[in-house]
Structure formats: structure tokens, C-alpha cells
Amino acid sequence: MLFKLAWRNIWRNKRRSLIVLISVMVGLIAIVFEDGLSNGMMRQMLFNQISLDISHVQIHKAGFNNNKIVKNYIPDYKHVESILNSTPDVEAYSKRVFAAGILSSASNSSGVILYGIIPAEEARVSVIKSSIVEGNYLGSDKRGIIIGKKLAEKLGVGVGDKIVAMANTLKGDIGSDAFRIVGIFQTSSSEFDKMAVYVNAGTEQEMLGIGDNYHEFAIITKDYNNITSIKKNLEAKLGSKYEVFTYRDMLPMLIYQMDLYKESMMILNIIIGLALIFGIVNTMLMSVFERLREFGVLMAIGMKNSRLYLMILFEAFILGVIGTIAGLICGLLLDIPLAHSGINLSIFSASLESFGVGAVIYPVLSLGNIFNAVLLIPFVAVIGALYPAYKAIKLEPVYAINYV
């Protein structure tokens, strides 16, 4: 009976009830949209880094990550390769030669990271091949090189131009070689495009004087969520001569940002909840004072204070639930299409690319955050009605009946 009375009371003043419903809906739509946008941005930053050069797992010689010098190449890389081939969790891997060096053109020079790769292997673990915007991907040409668009602009070169790469060799002197640009790539990270260049592994090995050795295995796993157990398995098989790092080890700041974001969403939910509380308190107080005579009659004929109190709370709860459902539906109808088409923020592309995000952001909803918001809003609505309900039960029946 209380629920039925509460339902009828809500729609006696449709305008006031609609104002509360719209407030709740807007609050939930804001939570859903913010969650999708922020979560999508964080996930894009992470997966862009993984798909560029980080991958899911990297294997090096022990100590290489702290001292990336030419002589720290992987001991017995064929042993590592055999283990990876026999590990069912490994989807693909790429062997890389790594060197910090200088790239020079006729008009300029720049510090770069020189990656020596086997093109077919690298195409399976990174997006470099699909990011070519001019020319072609690396082929069999030993003197071919692909560079980022930002670096090409800095050096003033294009496809077909010659450039010279220099880096320290295994003996400690300077090794150099001339290359011809066969392709230019553009990724979601402008910083990466300024630094990374790719040549055939055999050419870089020859330039550095390291024989047929490699510095890094970049690995893509079948399930990145199972990355911790995969790391432990590889460490057990490889032993102490090697170091195994996951993307979580190599991107600690980004992982920290993602964890911090989850906490900040709860704070945002609380802020929106507090704003809703004040609106609901104001609306419910208006509703109570408009119905003083009605409450007086109800108390005079024997309605207990506890039941009157619950009736008012039911009104707020119903408004909260209806507003939450409507807001969730509207939020999903807004976010689901955007998750496929993306939000084009090309006006901020320079800033976004410096963070490795990209100009188009694809919202990704977090079910945990949405679930928390769906539970929070009706609860907040009830909290907002506590004081108005308390004011109602403190009325004297005689005073309430004669109230004008």
C-alpha cells in the first residue's frame, strides 16, 4: 500500500517530479559518458604503446633494460626461440636488434632508436606495417629504411632519399651505413614517430658488428589478461641469464594512471551524488510542505510515523530508480554508437598524439563503474529524502490540518 501511495504522490505534481527525474538522468548520463571517454582514452594509450614497440612481453639478456648497450645482446637466442615456439600461450614474436644512434640527411640530423627487424615477424607484433602512409614496408632491400613522418619532416626527406645512420659498434667505435627511405609511417604517437626507425636486422647486425645476435624478443600472447602467469612460466624456463618484462613492468606510469582513473571515477560519482542530494532535498521539502494538511489527516486517522516516513522515502527511491534506468538507457544509446564511430578530436590532434592517444577516441564502458553508479543514484535519492521525511513526522496533526 505504501508503494502504491508513493507512486500516486509522485505524479500528482508531474512538473516537479520530472525536474528530479531529469536531474538524475543528466547525472547518470554524465557518469556514463565520462566513464566511456576516459576509459577509452586510457585503454587506447595502453594498446597503442603495446602495438608500437612494447608488445605484451619482452625478453632480453639480464640487465639489458637498465643498460641498453650494444654488447648486451641475448645469449643463445635460438634457445629462447625454441622455448617460445613450444609455449602455447605465445601468439607471435619478433626478434629485434636495438641501438641508439644518429640519423643524418643532407640538411639535418636527429637522435633515433634504430630497430633491426625481420619484416615478416615484426608485422605480426606491431602496427608499423599498417601505419605506412608513404612508400612501402620493408622488403628484401638490405639498404632500405622506414622512418616516422615527424622525423622525415625534421630531416627534410621523403621516399627515395638517402640518409646515413650512425651508432656505436661492439668494439666501441662508430659504425655507419647509408640507407634509402622506402617508406614513411605515421602512428598515434608523435613522439614515437620522431625517434623510431626500422631497417633489416641483418644490415644492422653487420653495422654494429654483433654477428647474428639480437637484443630483444617482442612477444604477443593469446591472452594479455593472463600475462603474470605467462611471465612466471617463461622465467622458470629461461633461467637467470635472461630478463622477462611484461607491458605492466615497462609502462608503470601508464598503469598507475589507469589505476588512479578507477579511483577518480568513484570520486566523480560521489560529487554528482552530492549535487543530486541537494536537488532532491529541495524538491522533497517542497513536496512535504505542499502536503502538510494531507499528512496531518493521515496522522490524525492513525497512520504511524514510521509508515509516513517510509512512504516519503519510497517516493524518492522510485524517482531515483526511474531516473537511473532512463539515464542509463540514454547514456548507452549515446556511448554505444560512439564506441564504433569514435569521437573525432582532430582539433586537439597534436596534443593527443603527444600522449600517444590518437585524434579519434573510442569510448569503452567499464561495467564495474557503471554498476557502482547504478547502485549509488537510488541510494543517494533516499539519502536526500531523509531530512524532508523527518520534517514530516515531526508535525503536530492539529497544526498540520489547519496549515494554510
Which helix (H) or strand (E) segment holds residue 242: the answer is: strand 242-246
The mean pLDDT of 172-181, rounded to a whole number, is 91
- Look at residue 147 in the predicted model and tell me its pLDDT: 95
Is 119 or 398 the better-scoring residue by pLDDT? Answer: 119
**Amino acid at the residue 238:** L
Which has the minimum average pLDDT: 46-60, 72-86, 131-145, 371-385? Answer: 371-385
pLDDT at 102: 94
Higher pLDDT, 303 or 73: 73
Q: What is the pLDDT of residue 304?
A: 82
Residue 196 in 3-state DSSP? strand
Q: C-alpha cell of 301?
A: 486517522
- Give how far the C-alpha of residue 295 lies from the chain's centroid of Cα atoms, to the nearest Å: 52
User: What's the pTM value of the predicted model, to 2 decimals?
Assistant: 0.75
pLDDT one-digit tens code per residue, 143-155 = 999 999 999 999 9
Cell numbers given for 398: 492539529
- Mean pLDDT is highest, among 40-54, 112-126, 332-346, for 112-126
**Lowest pLDDT segment from 236-240, 302-306, 320-324:** 302-306
At residue 344, the pLDDT reads 72
| pLDDT tens digit sequence for 326-383 | 888 888 888 888 878 777 776 666 666 655 566 677 788 777 777 777 887 888 888 8
The answer, yes or no, to whether residue 164 has pLDDT greater than 90, is yes
pLDDT value for 59: 95
The whole-number pLDDT of residue 241 equals 92
Comparing 85-94, 252-261, 354-363, which segment has the lowest mean pLDDT? 354-363
Residue 277 has pLDDT above 60, yes or no: yes
Q: What is the pLDDT of residues 183-227, one digit of tens each?
A: 999 988 888 888 999 999 999 999 999 999 999 999 999 988 888
Residue 85 has a pLDDT of 92
- The C-alpha angle 220, 224, 228, rounded to 5 degrees, equals 105
CB 181 within 8 A of CB 96: no
Q: What is the mean pLDDT of the chain?
A: 84
Percentage of residues in the chain having pLDDT higher than 90: 38
* Position 404 confidence tier, pLDDT thresholds 50, 70, 90: very low
* pLDDT given at position 151: 94
| Cα 381 from Cα 78, distance rounded (Å) | 64
Does the pLDDT at position 134 exceed 80? Answer: yes
Give every CB contact of residue 36 below 8 A, 6+ residues apart in sequence. 335, 338, 339, 363, 364, 365
Check residue 76 and report its DSSP letter.
T
